[in-house]
Structure 1
């Protein structure tokens, strides 16, 4: 990482300061108003899709009863979580008021829109969960039509499968439309109200979205995987009963977890990806393209909203399709191709042919650029769209049941769980390298478009992120499709009302859903890296502005990002270490909670022997309560780590080391997130492969081995892995917000070593205390003193 040239940065800061008085021109204001209208249209389409989904039948009375229990558990958990997060949001609101800002308008706007971003993120997650718990039973009911009652005419299996898939995907379409609609609406409102102050205000909007998403992702992930792991280990491995057998006390909690983790958590996660990428694009757009830079970055995702509608409705399965993924791929690529074509039209209609013609830009490096801004914008957006398509295909290769990696894991099950785990880890590690290369080449390719201007180069990276955003509507639909299909299979199995061909339809949909969830996690981490790389430019400019404002010396060692300096190298290592610590805390939280679930389910089987012969009913509520308490209890430590670690590094080692810290976190986080997501997805589908009859099928030693692999992969792919995505953006935004304060108290004329030391020590103590408290929590121990019963042909789990 090269050292910062502060003489040049100061000059650029002085040039860009003239933009502070800029306002949106009449033409651009109209464009932003139209974009806000497009955002509202997305919400209208979401409502229309809701009606289509809810018009489907709900199946039998037994299916409705089980679905109602899942709904009740999911609503209860999210209500308690929202109360907890609401207190946290209010505290951060007041803390943001204490941070430096150019004026009171920016300070209050930043804090207010922090609450708006947090609210929109929470609403997106809640709406995703709300509809998912109502549509899952409808998907199960649609699949049930494949097995008609005695004397009824035979139903065409393909038609039934397509109907079930359409309901599940349209449910995801609702969440997708809400995600892009609320994200675009929030950003548009900030630009309309605050104009030139919008970039600073958007920092608060992005932080609110990212923080709430991280908490929902971590909390929901702990809940869902504790229940899932506990249900699998006791039910499948020890008792030899199916995954969603109603005799298993953890089944309701498992289905609740699919909704609060995979639906609510991932919906909020992708919303904050959308919001933070727009934040980065608008911050850099103002500096690079002047007034146009506050409108054009909104035009691209607005086009994505329109094409997402086309993509969602294009997912209509055909008889010629090889699998459900064929139909989903078709919708994705239709959306991507139309997006690229419409962006090309918008670029040549909206942007001038030379940089000298950009209104409000005074940076000599940009004005002297001899290229065409239209080409830069179009190529950058195209790179983002192509990146999404390549990651979609690459992730599919490593996680689909029909591809060699998953089949190799399935074959390894013949030699036991150890080789299954080893095979999954190797596939995850390998796939992370290829994904990181794709993301790295995309960032570098867009960076080269800027030529001699670092501002243009970083804006090009941000535009690539907006290009990737054009696919988010379909991507969110793909993600929600997974847990809805999983829940539908669970309801069908628990009720016993879906047999034969109908059960196979749901099994096939669930396998497709595992792949779509892995794909969305890969694309989410790509947006995180693009947004973080673009935010680096904003961080760099924030340092330069602070240097001018407080009169700091440009020769200060701690102001440089030169990686050869020991303090910066320490920052780089700490950034990488935080990702490992964050992942370890999340996985350990699942391990502790899952242990408590295992012992509770074992206790119920031991104390109530009538459960196995259906003469007694399990106490489902006890497991739901265990998962709820543990998930909410474990929220604090990862959240405090994400917020306090950048503060501790910045006030201890300086803003240069803090920049290196972010670089270390981004590099390590990219590899770790993809490794965890893809290995977990591959293990899950390897289990599905065996359950479909390969290598001995259900009840075999191979099946037990893949269940163990799947339980290892559960917290990988659904807790720690996806939570790294918001973690990176939270840390980047916190660093961006505190950079002026670090410069002021460290290097300015009013520098105060005492204040700096107090803040650094306080942040470090909070981190150490939170980790200590987390590690002190006990691991569940079975008080019954009995060993679990062992089902024939199944390995016992100690």
Structure 2
């Protein structure tokens, strides 16, 4: 087998080794005073307690789902029992990726606070290094786990060569490998929804009673919900996001590998190369591996020297590192494509038959994917960043009350769907025209190659947010909170960018998985002129709406309990407002934990059960339409909710720093600020619960379809043969051919 295949897990290990080095550096930094460390321990223990409770529930789910997958593996020849093993490993790695991120975040937060006592540049270094640990952990585990499993399966089923079974046997390998992706996405869904419900229940409760009713600052130690709020930043925005992008990363690479196998099929089942005949399958894995290296290099140039820097300068430093890793990945892809792919390939384009695709056109698809990754960052930053026109519009509308603030935020979120959708549509169309569905898959893989960098930029935000909370609760000098607030406001934008990046990957990956699904089932396409197909399309479009409603409702119910508890403590515990009594933080933590575990079950169940019901009750073609409906509706809802929530949040933060309205400076505590707090409260579950869950909903739906596709294909094939036989026997105007009847009977039997 090729040396290059073994190099891929080595690249994953490099990422994990650098992660360990950077984690040790973070842990070696000064953790501050005893009070600061005590507060950080409260946050850490609360986060660990939630993850422990969540994982106990998810372990039961993994067992049940594993048994069902085992049953599926006995029904079709192309699905091996190893899909169950891969599913469990994928679920474990996904949970581990989130856990790594949460642990480093709860160590880096207090160290960022202490670093902010000396300089903004050092605070950025500590918080971003903590984010880098998470990014490298996610990317390293994904590349290492996926490549090691592929090597094992390739050796086990095919003895390391396409000569041993060819394309058909590779389908068995990739179908088993789909279990790894399914396990990762399943855990990601529950981690994202559960973590999102937790963090927003605490955040909304803390804001409504603490800021609006009591008039005390955010993260004030007198607020009983403040510890739960800071815990939520870690379990939702860090652990949940880590599991989320781990699943996205794996699903994207897997979809491209599946399509690479169909490239080999369209070329007659044989590709002459030095890599065991699997160059088109290997390419997405190698791109993911080198992306880790370039993310490490990009992270090295992110720094600021000006201690009086503002948000724009910090954002600029992050953008330089991001674009540096993207450009380096693009250059490397030129050489990788030349190395791994034949100069000219044959591919089947729907409606166009077999056409020739050159390596240069595949590289064009890579550039499309990299451009999408960069452009989505630009669009998201425009709609959510402080000082940009959309956020300033929300600020201006806050002067006339909460109602106009909310109207402006909703409008901003809705308008923000235009540019990304045009971008995705153009990217899908362009990548397909360049290199068919394989081009779409490679475009998605190239975009996801710098996941380690994207996640590092995303994860530093919650670390900075926690750092600000610890500074407030520890009553540190005002300039410390000012520095952490600068990082936090940039973090709000980068968090929105990270969510935009994830939904962009969902849009491209969903189409690649969709193409694989159509091939696995053997259907010719999706005909919406059929009543059942159109009905399934509408059902699919409805699911993201209902999912969002359930997530929002869950946050609302949990927040109501939190508000009642905070009000009770203010009323019944004398001395809280005077600072002479300590609030009962643990009770608020318990409320968020129990609500998150309970409320995450229904949205998760709908996501998993509905595609299975549609597939077995309505058939393969309606399920394809259902998947398309979920993808289109989900992308729109995700962009709308993520950007509206991010814009509302930064509008609120603008008031806290001081902003000009109609020629007058307006600050925290004003009526306009209170209106902005209300808008931010509405936007919180948008951007941190339902919105970011959409991309997992899309990909998990498509993955479930892919796993059951061989069964549906068998059912469709049997049904069509039976219908052909019925027509031949019922028609007295046609000659009945004995051999065709015998063949049809044997198929039915």
Normalised by the length of structure 1, the TM-score is 0.84
Q: How big is each residue's C-alpha offset from its partner over 1:651-680, in whole Å with a ceiling of 9 and x where there is no partner?
A: 232211111111111111001001000000
The farther-off stretch of 188-197 and 177-186 is: 188-197
Would you say the 8 A contact 2:349–2:355 is kept in 1?
A: no
- 1:510 is the counterpart of 2:488: yes
Q: How big is each residue's C-alpha offset from its partner over 1:599-641, in whole Å with a ceiling of 9 and x where there is no partner?
A: 0000000111310001211100000000000100012101110
* Residues 650-669 of structure 1 aligned to structure 2 (within 5 Å): 650-669=615-634
State the match for 2:24 in structure 1.
51
State the match for 1:707 in structure 2.
677
State the match for 2:355 in structure 1.
369
- 1:187 is the counterpart of 2:187: no
Shift of residue 747, structure 1, vs aligned partner: 5.8
Give the Cα–Cα distance (whole angstroms) in 1 for the partners of residues 586 and 387 of structure 2: 38
What secondary structure sits across from 1:245 in the alignment?
A: coil
State the match for 1:350 in structure 2.
340
State the match for 2:298 in structure 1.
311
- 1:527 is the counterpart of 2:505: yes
Would you say the 8 A contact 1:288–1:366 is kept in 2?
A: no
Give the Cα–Cα distance (whole angstroms) in 2 for the partners of residues 667 and 644 of structure 1: 19
Would you say the 8 A contact 1:388–1:471 is kept in 2?
A: no
Q: How big is each residue's C-alpha offset from its partner over 1:389-413, in whole Å with a ceiling of 9 and x where there is no partner?
A: 0000110011110211111111111
What secondary structure sits across from 1:355 in the alignment?
A: strand
Shift of residue 194, structure 1, vs aligned partner: 1.6
- 1:598 is the counterpart of 2:583: no
Shift of residue 104, structure 1, vs aligned partner: 7.3
Distance 1:629 1:569, change over 3 A: same
Would you say the 8 A contact 1:654–1:742 is kept in 2?
A: yes
State the match for 2:702 in structure 1.
732
Distance 1:568 1:37, change over 3 A: same
What secondary structure sits across from 2:217 in the alignment?
A: coil
What secondary structure sits across from 1:748 in the alignment?
A: helix
Would you say the 8 A contact 2:648–2:679 is kept in 1?
A: yes
Would you say the 8 A contact 2:78–2:175 is kept in 1?
A: no
- 1:722 is the counterpart of 2:692: yes
Would you say the 8 A contact 2:72–2:79 is kept in 1?
A: no
Give the Cα–Cα distance (whole angstroms) in 2 for the partners of residues 109 and 428 of structure 1: 44
Distance 1:603 1:723, change over 3 A: same
Give the Cα–Cα distance (whole angstroms) in 1 for the partners of residues 41 and 378 of structure 2: 37
The farther-off stretch of 282-291 and 676-685 is: 282-291
Distance 1:186 1:102, change over 3 A: farther
**Aligned residues between the structures:** 687
Would you say the 8 A contact 1:746–1:752 is kept in 2?
A: no
Q: 1:470 aligns with which of 434, 444, 449?
A: 449
- 1:237 is the counterpart of 2:212: yes
Give the Cα–Cα distance (whole angstroms) in 1 for the partners of residues 643 and 514 of structure 2: 27
State the match for 2:188 in structure 1.
213
Would you say the 8 A contact 1:744–1:751 is kept in 2?
A: no
The farther-off stretch of 293-302 and 323-332 is: 293-302
Shift of residue 461, structure 1, vs aligned partner: 0.5
Stretches of structure 1 that go unaligned for 5 or more consecutive residues are: 1-25, 146-159, 451-456, 548-558, 754-798
The farther-off stretch of 279-288 and 514-523 is: 279-288
Would you say the 8 A contact 2:153–2:173 is kept in 1?
A: yes
State the match for 2:746 in structure 1.
none
Shift of residue 189, structure 1, vs aligned partner: 1.4
What secondary structure sits across from 2:81 in the alignment?
A: helix
Give the Cα–Cα distance (whole angstroms) in 2 for the partners of residues 682 and 334 of structure 1: 27
Give the Cα–Cα distance (whole angstroms) in 2 for the partners of residues 140 and 565 of structure 1: 60
What secondary structure sits across from 1:241 in the alignment?
A: coil
Distance 1:619 1:342, change over 3 A: same
* Residues 545-556 of structure 1 aligned to structure 2 (within 5 Å): none
Would you say the 8 A contact 1:385–1:471 is kept in 2?
A: no
* Residues 316-715 of structure 1 aligned to structure 2 (within 5 Å): 316-319=303-306, 322-355=312-345, 369-372=355-358, 374-450=359-435, 457-497=436-476, 499-544=477-522, 561-694=526-659, 695=661, 696-715=666-685
Would you say the 8 A contact 1:36–1:189 is kept in 2?
A: yes
Shift of residue 293, structure 1, vs aligned partner: 2.0
Give the Cα–Cα distance (whole angstroms) in 1 for the partners of residues 44 and 191 of structure 2: 17
- 1:139 is the counterpart of 2:112: yes
Q: How big is each residue's C-alpha offset from its partner over 1:541-565, in whole Å with a ceiling of 9 and x where there is no partner?
A: 1111xx7xxxxxxxxxxx8621111
State the match for 1:274 in structure 2.
249
Q: How big is each residue's C-alpha offset from its partner over 1:34-69, in whole Å with a ceiling of 9 and x where there is no partner?
A: 011001110001001101211211111111110000
The farther-off stretch of 385-394 and 195-204 is: 195-204
* Residues 146-225 of structure 1 aligned to structure 2 (within 5 Å): 160-195=119-154, 196=170, 197-225=172-200
- 1:261 is the counterpart of 2:245: no
- 1:31 is the counterpart of 2:16: no
Give the Cα–Cα distance (whole angstroms) in 2 for the partners of residues 188 and 575 of structure 1: 33
Shift of residue 186, structure 1, vs aligned partner: 1.6
Give the Cα–Cα distance (whole angstroms) in 2 for the partners of residues 496 and 66 of structure 1: 12
Give the Cα–Cα distance (whole angstroms) in 1 for the partners of residues 228 and 722 of structure 2: 52
- 1:742 is the counterpart of 2:712: yes
What secondary structure sits across from 2:416 in the alignment?
A: helix
Stretches of structure 2 that go unaligned for 5 or more consecutive residues are: 155-169, 265-270, 272-277, 724-749
Shift of residue 113, structure 1, vs aligned partner: 0.5
Give the Cα–Cα distance (whole angstroms) in 2 for the partners of residues 751 and 362 of structure 1: 25
Give the Cα–Cα distance (whole angstroms) in 2 for the partners of residues 131 and 55 of structure 1: 12
State the match for 2:88 in structure 1.
115
Shift of residue 380, structure 1, vs aligned partner: 1.0
Would you say the 8 A contact 1:100–1:741 is kept in 2?
A: no
Would you say the 8 A contact 2:127–2:460 is kept in 1?
A: yes
Would you say the 8 A contact 2:391–2:648 is kept in 1?
A: yes
Give the Cα–Cα distance (whole angstroms) in 2 for the partners of residues 206 and 743 of structure 1: 21
What secondary structure sits across from 1:369 in the alignment?
A: strand
Q: How big is each residue's C-alpha offset from its partner over 1:201-227, in whole Å with a ceiling of 9 and x where there is no partner?
A: 121111100000000000000000000
Distance 1:119 1:105, change over 3 A: farther
